[in-house]
Amino acid sequence: MTDTVDLGPEDLLGDGEAMRIPAEQTGYPEDIALVRSEDGDYFAVDDECTHAAVSLSDGFVEEDTIECPMHASAFCLRTGVPETPPAITPVKTHHVTVENGRVILHPGVPRSEAPGQ
């Protein structure tokens, strides 16, 4: 999938906040968690925790991780890899850019495969 989705203005989220972007809005088969790190950078990962069906966007942002609200696995927003148990399987990452003051999601394009990453 190469379509991009304009999610809204750059101040859509404050630093350290997250929100769920429903699949219906993106055309991607899963809900996506849009996250703004404490440093103000945008990231996106699959919203569902790989340990159980819990929404990571309901979790807690700390530095460049998001912590699952159920059992506290912290997923790296850059790689999707869980840095703490019990989750062991990474979540997929999605490329996000800020262009002309708008947050642009590239659903299905892994962050690591995006240009300049």
Q: Which is nearer to ligand FES, 9 or 85 (CB)?
A: 85
Closer of 62 and 113 to ligand FES (Cβ): 62
Q: Assign 43 to helix, strand or coil.
A: strand
Closer residue to ligand FES, CB minimum distance, 37 or 73? 73
DSSP state of 86: S
- Contact residues toward ligand FES (CB under 6 A) are 49, 51-52, 54, 68, 70-71, 73, 86-87
Helix locations, 7-84, DSSP H = 23-26
Query: In the complex, what is the shortest distance from the CB of residue 23 to ligand FES, in angstroms, rounded to a whole number?
Result: 19
Strand order in the sheet with 18-21: 5-9, 102-106, 93-99, 42-46, 32-36, 18-21
State the virtual CA torsion across 3, 14, 47, 85 in degrees, nearest 10. 140
Least distance between ligand FES and beta carbon 25 (Å): 23
Nearer to ligand FES, 12 or 20 (CB): 20
Q: Which residue is it, tokens 């990962």?
A: 45
